[in-house]
Amino acid sequence: MPDPRLRVLALYPDLMNIYADRGNLLLLERRCAWRGIGFSLLGAGLGDLLDPEAADLYYIGGGQDRDQRLCAYDLAEHKGEALHEAAARGAVVLAVCGGYQLLGRSYQLAGETLPGVGLLDCNTVRTEDGAVLGSGDRLIGNVAIEVQLERMAEPQVLAGFENHGGRTHLGPAARPLGKVLRGLGNNGNDGLEGGRAGKVIGTYLHGPLLPKNVWFADWLIATAIGADEPLAPLDDRLERLAHLEARRAAGI
Ligand code: GLN
């Protein structure tokens, strides 16, 4: 495989993949190929052990509560420790929606609290005053957030789509990924979206996220492979239109 190369490991690629979150992986693969950067993709499902050295970027997409429940216990039993080790050695961890919720400390459903990996200092609650939120209480819609990342000269916009019943609150050890410009974000109240701790990043943005925000995909690739120089530019005319359309849908 050519060097540099990006090694990606997708956690639960079958169970945690709603709103075409798998598209994020395809996009990473294409943008690497177009630049002559090697790319490999591994998957880890229920019961599999995780190699903390196997990847530069660990990825987990969104899912339904039912599937998340299976993954939460599997993570706790088989993979949580290795994911901590991977993050500690500097791997990027990107988690979308249900995956983001699982990176936190816990996900509280009616009658059951699912364990989280604890890579992000946040808690997610699906209930209020002990009652299950009705389906009308989901946080749904187009969303745009403002994000300032290392090595970016100025803040950038991430645009996407959110649909979650869980409300996430960050603790003091987590930073938000961004501040909400339009949409609801972590909980519809505090104006924050997503969570970060170093290279561990969680967000509620589907879309899929990366095809609509290729600047962020490139930031992830560069960070994961430890690129010293900016990645070679690509012909992003279509990607820019997709980004502008997602922003327009969100109202900015
Ligand atoms: N099941 C979770 C929730 O409803 C996550 C949903 C998702 O990944 N879109 O909050």
Tens of pLDDT, residues 25-68: 999 999 999 999 999 999 999 999 999 999 999 999 999 999 99
Position 32, amino acid = C
Average model confidence (pLDDT) for the chain? 95
The three-class DSSP label of residue 243 is helix
**Dist. CA 190 → ligand 1 center (Å):** 19
pLDDT of residue 130: 52
CATH dotted code for 5-250 = 3.40.50.880
Question: In 12-129, which ranges are E strands?
Answer: 38-44, 57-60, 92-96, 106-109, 112-115, 122-125, 127-128
Consecutive H or E run containing 185: none
Helix (H) or strand (E) segment spanning residue 143 = strand 139-147
Per annotation, catalytic residue among 97, 122, 164, 243: 97
Atom of ligand 1 nearest to the CA of 16: 8
pLDDT value at residue 122: 98
User: What is the dihedral sign for C-alpha 41, 7, 199, 91?
Assistant: positive
What is the reported pLDDT for 20?
Answer: 84
Selected residue with higher pLDDT from 203 and 229: 203
pTM: 0.96
Catalytic-residue membership of 32: no
What does residue 159 show for φ and ψ, rounded to 5 degrees?
A: -125, 145
Q: Is 122 a catalytic residue?
A: no
Q: Which atom of ligand 1 is nearest to the CA of 62?
A: 8
CB 171 within 8 A of CB 104: no
**For residue 111, what pLDDT is reported?**
86
Residue 73 has pLDDT above 90, yes or no: yes
